[in-house]
Amino acid sequence: MTRSELFAQIKAKSSYLCVGLDTDIQKIPPSLRNEPDPIFAFNRAIIEATQAYAVAYKPNLAFYEALGPKGWESLQKTLEIIPKECFTIADAKRGDIGNTSGLYARAFFDKSASGLDFDSVTVAPYMGEDSVKPFLAFPGKWVILLALTSNVGSSDFQRLEVVKNAEVPHARALFEQVLMTSQNWGSHDQLMYVVGATRADQLQRIRELAPEHFLLVPGVGAQGGSLEEVSRYGMNRQCGLLVNSSRAIIYASSGADFAERAADEARKVQQEMAGYLETYL
């Protein structure tokens, strides 16, 4: 999917909501447990209920891997029923040396090899350029590189100040260096960033360093970030935001009305987003 196709969808739906498919077999309604593939049945109901309000879906790979080969089958089937206009994200946080990353890219982008054909994959930056480039070699596909995550552990390394060399006048945080260095690897038509920032000053600083890129923002919803702040300080001329919500939508109810309640929650977020698109775009 191209950047302009993504933006067109955002305008059409007045939404930049990404629904995270963190589907946990232990949390889905008991009524689905007798389905031949309960994970897929849950995802299908969630996707049908929310597709009018969401522009992207993000399966979290861990939830599928934890179920072994049948989890990968549920993932395949799920990906096939996501409407073609929606942007799909394999939240896999992969990253390895070049030839190995090339195989991970095939795992998520090459349907003839793995059965999967995502639009994008999340990638960890620690191993550097050659761990990211093989994903960027797939035309029409995207890398969403971890820059700043929203968890407590993000302060262990991501926020450390780094000194690139003696000529750098003052230190910057590692995640800022990731934002800067990685822009040499690919354009903003194939590279996005995971940015778990919800504070105005953080978002402004990130937009200084990456004005044009799409940002995938987790941590709004169950994790408690402010959608208003993210939208005001993170939006750019082509929206430039995908804001993820997982649990707050997909587990809005644990009963038989889970899909209906998911739709309600997704609609609420979409309506709030419609207002921000009016105001800040």
Q: Which residues pair with 148 in a beta bridge?
A: 195
What contacts 266, CB < 8 A, 6 or more positions away? Answer: 17, 19, 49, 50, 53, 54, 245, 249
Asked if 44 is part of the footprint of a second copy (rule: CB under 8 A), the reply reads: no
Q: What is the dihedral sign for C-alpha 35, 40, 46, 49?
A: negative
**Smallest distance, a second copy to C-beta of residue 12, A:** 31
**Smallest distance, a second copy to C-beta of residue 107, A:** 4
Scored b (16 or more CB within 10 A) or e, 16-45 reads: bbbbbbbbeeeebbeebeeeebbbbbbbbb
Query: Does residue 93 have an active-site annotation?
Result: yes
Asked if 33 is part of the footprint of a second copy (rule: CB under 8 A), the reply reads: no
Q: Is 84 helix (H, G, I), strand (E, B) or coil?
A: coil
With CB under 8 A as the contact rule, the residue among 151, 187, 204, 254 that binds a second copy is: 151
With CB under 8 A as the contact rule, the residue among 1, 67, 200, 274 that binds a second copy is: 67
Residues between 152 and 211 that touch a second copy (CB under 8 A) = 152-158, 160-164, 171, 174, 177-178, 181
Which one from 13, 27, 70, 93 is the annotated catalytic residue? 93
Contact 64, 95 (CB under 8 A): no
Contact 102, 130 (CB under 8 A): no
**Smallest distance, a second copy to C-beta of residue 138, A:** 13
**Smallest distance, a second copy to C-beta of residue 31, A:** 22
Place of tokens 């096939």: 80
At residue 39, φ and ψ (nearest 5 deg) are -65, -45
Segment near a second copy (CB under 8 A); pick from 44-52, 66-74, 227-235, 267-275: 66-74
**Residues labelled as active-site residues:** 93
Contact residues for a second copy (CB under 8 A)? 22, 24, 60, 62-63, 65-73, 76, 91, 93-98, 100-101, 103-104, 106-107, 110, 113-116, 124-132, 146, 149-158, 160-164, 171, 174, 177-178, 181
